[in-house]
Structure 1
Amino acid sequence: MLDPTVEADVFVLDPVATTAAQTTELRSRGRRLICQVYVGSVHPDDPDAGRYPGPVRGTTSSRTSRTWLDVRRWETLRPVLADRFRLCRGKGFGAVLLADADGYDHGSGFPLTFDDQLEFNRRVAALARSLSLSPGLLGALAQVAALAPNFDFAVNEECVRLKRCAKLLPFADANKPVFHVEYTGSTTDFCVTSVGYGFASIRKNRTLDAWRQPCPPPP
């Protein structure tokens, strides 16, 4: 459950579950709001799930119950994504975080290539900008080097534990924020590593409740 009193500068929130009243309160506290949108997949509980026709639906993940989409079908996907972004903007979000932007690497059920995904991700970033939203990239580490010029920030989970933080340096080197989280249950002392890379890092519970433990800033 959202706790607006948490002393965090940036909140990453679901645009459907979060109300306009909540975003208004957060903005009154000076918080920056990022709207997380699944651009490469659809869940049966999504309010707009019926707008994705059968031909653009691929395999379904047994872990998340999300169905991968054929990102080559831009003319079909664009109107749905544009409306999702308008929902974010209407609720007062200033940025959008692209989730599941790496279907080509996950057995989507379509013969997607690296370049297919790259073109789609760039198009979605441009769409966000056209709607006055700052685009951010979640994960998709294999494409970070190519996509960093198109995005304003990155969000990453567990790059220290997985030894992948160096892949995010194109953002840090361009003075673009990298928001990074490691989860409880790991004994990894990650702050020295992640702060050394210039990331804004915290530890959280995997349940993504309000608790957070930020890394100290560099001296």
Structure 2
Amino acid sequence: MYGKSLCSFALVLMLAACGGGSGSDSLSASAKALKESAQQSASWKPLVPGTSWQWQLDGNTINETILDGVKNPRKMYDVDMEQTDAQTIARLKAKGIYVVCYMEVGGWEKYRNDAGQFPPGVLGNPVDGYEDTERWLDIRQTAILMPIMLARLDRAKAKGCDGVEPDLDDSYAEDTSFPITLEDQLNYNTALINAAHDRGMSMGLKNGPNIATAMAKVADWALNEQCNHDHVCGGYASFIALNKAVFNVEYTRPDHMKLADFCPADNKANFDGILKLSSDTLAALPRSACRFE
């Protein structure tokens, strides 16, 4: 049952054992490994540019009608994997909506059902803004973390998720308290994406603008927050060049961002942009889109 997943896990361990350099040589070597591993399986359905989408992670009942009026036949809905039941996912899919399920892969959340499975040795500094509930993970400790993540992917598959949004998958650049390298990050992300593919699900890149070019070779789409606001959209062009969707969300709060402020750039780049209230709400509404609506 887990044959391919264990192979993917072995791949990341072998890559880690070989050691990693730094700078452009390291990135080039990792990109090659990413491309090769991406070709191991092809049973998942990718997402392409020109996909209308919605993102609701507030823990409230999913608004299943919010995309009903969208004329675009390609639709994606991103929901919380643990908090969304299989029946809701099935109803969304019956409408022809591709359902992506959110799960954190680089951080520990004390309110998750499997929080007790993470030993203290893999828990690092608190995540900024979530000091009371979340801590960074030592993603180098794959022997401990991968079984937990594989179990999460199994639950996502059992619920009917078509894809997975892997949050905090760029922790190498954060103050985690661990000496995580770029190589560590690419290896970990690759193992997770392979495991999702083995289960017939896609997996994207969440944020990580500095690794977008390398990750485009293996991730199936990208979801970024505020790349226009932060002036870091450039790397995501690598996804578009491979006909992989780039989902961009900008926020009204706190800088009063409006559709007119970023939609021309998103449309020109062939990104699928939406506007929501703030990163700490992510309720069903408000939601406005740049195109197809």
* Percent identity of equivalent pairs: 30
The match for 1:6 is 66
The match for 1:193 is 265
- Aligned counterparts of 1:195 and 1:28: Cα–Cα separation in 2: 29
Paired residue for 1:37, among 66, 91, 103?
103
CA displacement at 1:186 relative to structure 2: 1.6
> Which digits, 9 at most, give the CA deviation of each residue in 1:119-163, with x for residues without a partner?
111111111111211111110111111111111100011111111
Amino acid in structure 1 at the alignment position of 2:264? V
> What TM-score does the superposition give when structure 1 sets the normalisation length?
0.95
The yes-or-no answer on 1:51 pairing with 2:51 is no
> What TM-score does the superposition give when structure 2 sets the normalisation length?
0.72
- Aligned counterparts of 2:251 and 2:262: Cα–Cα separation in 1: 10
**Range moving further from structure 2, 111-120 or 1-10:** 1-10
- Aligned counterparts of 1:11 and 1:110: Cα–Cα separation in 2: 34
The yes-or-no answer on 1:140 pairing with 2:211 is no
Secondary structure of residue in 1 paired with 2:146: helix
Moved over 2 A (4+): none
CA displacement at 1:77 relative to structure 2: 0.7
- Aligned counterparts of 1:137 and 1:62: Cα–Cα separation in 2: 20
- Aligned counterparts of 1:115 and 1:26: Cα–Cα separation in 2: 37
Contact 2:165 2:203 in 1 (8 A): yes
- Larger Cα-atom Rg: 2
- Aligned counterparts of 1:72 and 1:127: Cα–Cα separation in 2: 17
> Which digits, 9 at most, give the CA deviation of each residue in 1:73-121, with x for residues without a partner?
1111111001111111111111111110111111111111111111111
> Which digits, 9 at most, give the CA deviation of each residue in 1:16-57, with x for residues without a partner?
110111111111111110011111111111110111111111
Amino acid in structure 2 at the alignment position of 1:203? L
Contact 1:71 1:77 in 2 (8 A): yes
Paired residue for 1:25, among 51, 71, 91?
91
CA displacement at 1:13 relative to structure 2: 0.8
The yes-or-no answer on 1:92 pairing with 2:152 is no
The match for 1:170 is 238
The match for 1:157 is 225
**Range moving further from structure 2, 17-26 or 202-211:** 202-211
Contact 1:4 1:26 in 2 (8 A): yes
Provide structure 1 residue ranges, at least 5 long, that are not aligned to the other structure. Answer: none
Amino acid in structure 2 at the alignment position of 1:15? M
The yes-or-no answer on 1:216 pairing with 2:291 is yes
Contact 1:165 1:194 in 2 (8 A): no
- Aligned counterparts of 2:144 and 2:91: Cα–Cα separation in 1: 35
> Which digits, 9 at most, give the CA deviation of each residue in 1:155-199, with x for residues without a partner?
011111111111211101111001111112224611100111010
Amino acid in structure 2 at the alignment position of 1:4? E
Secondary structure of residue in 2 paired with 1:186: coil
Provide structure 2 residue ranges, at least 5 long, that are not aligned to the other structure. Answer: 1-59
**Range moving further from structure 2, 193-202 or 5-14:** 5-14
Paired residue total: 218
- Aligned counterparts of 2:230 and 2:113: Cα–Cα separation in 1: 34
Contact 2:209 2:233 in 1 (8 A): no
Paired residue for 1:109, among 166, 170, 177?
177
Secondary structure of residue in 2 paired with 1:202: strand
- Aligned counterparts of 1:30 and 1:62: Cα–Cα separation in 2: 37
CA displacement at 1:216 relative to structure 2: 2.2
- Aligned counterparts of 2:257 and 2:273: Cα–Cα separation in 1: 15
The Cα RMSD (Å) is 1.5
The match for 2:276 is 204
Amino acid in structure 2 at the alignment position of 1:209? A
